Amino acid sequence: MGIYKNKDFAFYISPKTGGTTIRSWLVYSETETLEVVDSGNGYLEQNGIGYQLIENMGYYFKKFKEVNSPIKACVKRDPVSRFLSCYTDKVLREGVINASIDDLLNDWTRLKSGRQDPLNPGTYYLENHFLPQSYYLGENKDYYDFVFDVKETSTKIKSFLEEKLDIELPELHTRKQSKKPEVTEEQVEKIKEIYSVDYENGWC
């Protein structure tokens, strides 16, 4: 979640849109190492060295802001799929809080609990992952020269970064395909309502 910027391009990333893979590739472009660790159950996460390196490279861990760059790119994801991915990863796998899907949908303030976000002091780790993509990508899709879908991470996004960084990047899958919880039509409609701003702005 944040913005990477060098002299040639800027890349905006929301949580649960392939960020770990993209950040690891950015680190690799400087060090030729991925700096990831296995956190269990087939999940790879960027290690402390990786986070420090990416910050030193100009990665900005906060909300959307306009930057002066010749090329601006971002990655989006269907809001329902993103919500379920976040719930599966942060609630079921990491156990940041104990809550059902209905618990969250009926009381969004539950996200303001658990640990604070070390990358964004004064904010909550869990809430930052569930915030709408518009918080990180802004409200104007036309601001971007390239808008990728998360499904294109290993294809178009990888090719874009290889061209801009002038390097061949290794294949990397930091999140295994895990079974998402089943949701009712009513729950899906509630998720869409919560993330209505993302649908309005084209982040879907």
For 177-188, the pLDDT digits (tens) are 567 889 999 999
The domain in which residue 144 lies consists of 2-201
Calpha distance 123→136 (Å, rounded) = 14
Q: Into how many domains does the chain fold? A: 1
Lowest average pLDDT, out of 6-15, 29-38, 69-78, goes to 29-38
Query: What is the token pair recorded at 107?
Result: 């009381």
Q: Which residue has the higher pLDDT, 28 or 120?
A: 28
Residue 47, pLDDT score? 61
Instruction: Name the pTM for this structure.
Output: 0.89
38 Rama sector, left if φ>0, alpha if ψ -120 to 50, beta otherwise: beta
User: What does pLDDT average to over the chain?
Assistant: 87
CB 148 within 8 A of CB 17: no
For 105-149, the pLDDT digits (tens) are 999 988 887 777 766 776 788 898 999 999 999 999 999 999 999
Average pLDDT over residues 145-167: 97
